[in-house]
Copies of this chain bind each other. A is one copy, B any other.
């Protein structure tokens, strides 16, 4: 069942995780350049590694055609993501880290190899379903709960009221900015108007003052529809 070569290196784990993310819910093929950019390496390095991962049957790959995860590759990716998100949750919930301070550390912690450790952390945290950025945490069998009703704040229509359910964790600057303006998971956002030219929107956060959010911000915030504004 488990042969000795499923002891994967940190680099291999990072590649698998990133292929999973770029592949998305639709399981699209992932291009060499896309991976190179996300992993901050050169395209030639990606090609090298894809050949190795293919030999280990963790990715499906054909020259010039992009790659995708195999069943076992996806299983590994989900386990790394589980560890990443549980550690982030631990840092925020137990050690009072800010949501902008956890990603870098979790990038290291996600590679710690101990089934017992991560399952204990899971239990210690009370089996959380979402991480501090609103991303779903895979369970120990790799089951993951996408929030079906989630849409981008940039895709909402004027006069609707929505609830923030996730934020893109990739940009430290974004997370700090959201902290500043008081936008967090669970915040209620009323969309007053949209400027067609730059697609910025005018909103209020948790019934606060009206504020403008740029497209660059709104496309990185996941929300769930709550209701239409009542005009009174």
Distance A156 CA – B120 CA, assembled complex (angstroms): 40
Cβ A101 vs Cβ B116 within 8 A: yes
Closest to A113 in B: B108
Contacts of A105 in B (CB 8 A): 112, 114, 117
Query: How many copies of the polypeptide does the oligomer hold?
Result: 2
Given contacts A95-B121, A121-B95, contact A112 B116 (CB under 8 A): no
A113, A114, A116, A121 pick with most chain B CB within 10 angstroms: A114
Q: Does A25 contact B (CB under 8 A)?
A: no
State the Cβ distance, A79 to closest chain B Cβ, in Å: 16
Among B96, B104, B109, B117, the residue within 8 A (CB) of A95 is B117
Q: Does A177 contact B (CB under 8 A)?
A: no
Q: Does A76 contact B (CB under 8 A)?
A: no
**Number of contact residues on A: which range applies?**
10 to 19
Contacts of A91 in B (CB 8 A): 117
Distance A101 CA – B117 CA, assembled complex (angstroms): 10
Cβ B97 vs Cβ A116 within 8 A: yes
Give residues of chain A (114-134) contacting chain B, Cβ–Cβ below 8 Å: 114, 116-117, 120-121, 124
Q: Does A94 contact B (CB under 8 A)?
A: yes
State the Cβ distance, A106 to closest chain B Cβ, in Å: 10
Contacts of A108 in B (CB 8 A): 112-114
Closest to A114 in B: B105
Closest to A104 in B: B114
Contacts of A101 in B (CB 8 A): 116
Cβ A112 vs Cβ B109 within 8 A: yes
Cβ A96 vs Cβ B112 within 8 A: no
Distance A114 CA – B102 CA, assembled complex (angstroms): 10
Contacts of A114 in B (CB 8 A): 104-105, 108
Contacts of A97 in B (CB 8 A): 116, 120
Distance A86 CA – B181 CA, assembled complex (angstroms): 37
Q: List 4 A-B pairs, minimum CB-CB distance, nearest first.
A: A95-B120, A105-B114, A108-B112, A105-B117
Other than the given A96-B120, A97-B120, 14 more pairs (CB < 8 A) read A91-B117, A95-B117, A95-B120, A95-B121, A95-B124, A97-B116, A101-B116, A104-B114, A105-B114, A105-B117, A108-B112, A108-B113, A108-B114, A112-B112
